[in-house]
């Protein structure tokens, strides 16, 4: 039988292509509605994340390429949280140069030192609370001096 989640894992996040939409927690479920019709349930991340539009298009394109009729349903509740991101995805982010959000940090994350994804030092400083995309903020390592992105805890 076709493993739908495995298939959907081929859709990368448009802004951070090393992770996919399943391990990000955006895909909440997928099921066959009939022999060739598939319903994919997705939950939006940030209110204004522009990637959500292309994610939907990418899902539709992928399913059509696999001779399936796509139906994408947006589910608003429960709301998306970075806690749904898999450990594997967090590790991929770190290797890519983005410090991942830790599980269950919640609001306390603003006060927790962010580890440099390159040298691992916790001696870092915030450069800007807002970054190049809605999900990131900018930091710099005081030891290796490299600037880096932090994926905000949400």
Closer residue to another protein (CB): 71 or 109: 109
C-alpha 99 chain-centroid distance: 13
CB of 86 to another protein, least distance (A): 20
Contact status, residue 113 vs residue 148, Cβ threshold 8 Å: no
Number of Cα atoms under 13 Å in the Cβ half of residue 72 = 20
Closest by Cα among 91, 143, 138, 105 to 151: 138
CB of 150 to another protein, least distance (A): 12
CB of 11 to another protein, least distance (A): 21
Closer residue to another protein (CB): 108 or 123: 108
Residues that bind another protein (CB under 8 A): 46-49, 76-80, 107, 110, 127-132, 134, 138, 152, 154
């Amino acid at each position: 039988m076709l493993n739908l989640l495995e298939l959907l894992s081929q859709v990368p996040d448009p802004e951070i292509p090393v992770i996919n939409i399943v391990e990000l927690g955006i895909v909440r479920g997928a099921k066959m509605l009939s022999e060739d019709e598939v319903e994919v349930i997705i939950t939006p991340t940030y209110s204004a994340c522009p990637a959500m539009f292309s994610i939907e298009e990418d899902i539709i394109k992928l399913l059509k390429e696999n001779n399936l009729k796509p139906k994408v349903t947006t589910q608003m509740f429960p709301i998306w949280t970075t806690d749904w991101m898999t450990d594997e995805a967090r590790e991929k982010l770190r290797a890519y140069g983005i410090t991942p959000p830790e599980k269950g940090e919640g609001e306390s994350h603003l006060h927790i030192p962010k580890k440099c994804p390159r040298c691992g030092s916790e001696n870092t400083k915030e450069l800007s609370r807002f970054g190049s995309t809605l999900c990131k903020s900018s930091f710099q390592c005081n030891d290796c001096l490299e600037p880096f992105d932090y994926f905000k805890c949400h």
